[in-house]
Amino acid sequence: MASERRADAQEPSFLDESWLRRQVETHLVFGWFARRLDFGWLLVSVPLLAVVLALNEPWGILLAKIVLAGIFVFFFFFRLILRMPRYRQAAFGWCITKATLAVRSFLFLLGSLVAFFQGRSDAIDLMLLGVIWFPGVEFASSLANRQRYITIVECC
């Protein structure tokens, strides 16, 4: 029947868009992950690192972090992320990173506005950090080939 789909056929995804593929493959970090290493392993290592850093905490906190890391890692990442192809893992990480940077930049800009009205001297610093880290320039299609340099400037 024409309405039945094959089990191995993948549905089109937001992660397969051509503009996103160009953004991810030309990125300094995520392009490397898309070509060489599964990005999911980096995401899996973050909760495990939290458990290792909690080893000097009391037993109750350590046990809670171990349980949360186990649930988070095994049920979410091993089932969903690590089954994706390398490119999709890198694209997923790129989207998460850009969304996190956008929220952080917005909070810096909001904090600079509050600091300005409170008369604090760090208002301009917060505003500049919010503007520099705001993801926007790299979305221009004419700058996609230079995204490596934009990433280096944002990290400095």
Listed as ranges, residues in the chain with pLDDT below 70 are 1-12, 73-78, 137, 154, 156
Amino acid 113: pLDDT: 92
Cβ neighbour number for residue 69 with a 10 Å cutoff: 19
Closest CA to 97 of 153, 38, 29, 5: 29
- C-alpha distances out from residue 18 to 15, 21, 61, 123, Å: 9, 5, 45, 39
Amino acid 106: pLDDT: 92
- How many whole angstroms separate alpha carbon 39 and alpha carbon 49? 16
DSSP string spanning 21-37?
HHHHHTSTTHHHHHHHS
Amino acid 30: pLDDT: 85
Amino acid 4: pLDDT: 47
Amino acid 107: pLDDT: 92
Amino acid 86: pLDDT: 86
Cα 121 to the center of its chain, rounded Å: 31
